[in-house]
Amino acid sequence: MTSGKAATKATIHMSGGYVPGWTYDASKKVYLRDERGVPSKSADGVRLSGVNVVVLRVKVVNTKYKDPAGNPVPDTVLEGTGSATVLSGGKAVTGTWTKKSTGAVLRVTADGEDVLLAPGETWVELVPTGSGSVALS
């Protein structure tokens, strides 16, 4: 991304108990993932990071299924359109995602143009429209 506003940190509220964050490390040119400030690591102990972080606001609906505690099992609806934020290179671009059907390609656009990602690992965060939020700084 060559445009966008400075964004070195993103805090994503998925639910009361799930708040991932991403902090830009300019020396490594990646965003580092955390959970409420605690570094996120793989099973091998490697710090989780991404060159790009794509945040999509999505609809979440309850299915007819229940978990062992009797709570409804949610399902993410990744069709239609919604707002999107793309973090890359210490910058953020806000735009819109569209996906016409289950098998269709997902597109993220800003100002009518496709948002192009930097080469490298990309993470996608699916944030519920009804209960989630995204804060950039």
Residue 131 has pLDDT above 70, yes or no: yes
User: What integer is the mean pLDDT of 19-38?
Assistant: 97
Tokens coding 66: 């229940």
CATH number of 5-136: 3.50.90.10
Domain extents for the chain?
Answer: 5-136
Residue 2 has pLDDT above 70, yes or no: no
Region of residue 48 (phi > 0: left; psi between -120 and 50: alpha; otherwise: beta): beta
Sign of the C-alpha dihedral computed for residues 106, 110, 112 and 118 taken in this order = negative
Give the model confidence (pLDDT) of 57-78 as tens digits. 999 999 999 999 999 999 999 9
b/e sequence 10-35, b meaning 16+ C-beta within 10 Å: bbbbbeeeebbbbbbeeeeebbbbbe
Tokens coding 21: 């964050």
Residue 48 is predicted with a pLDDT of: 98
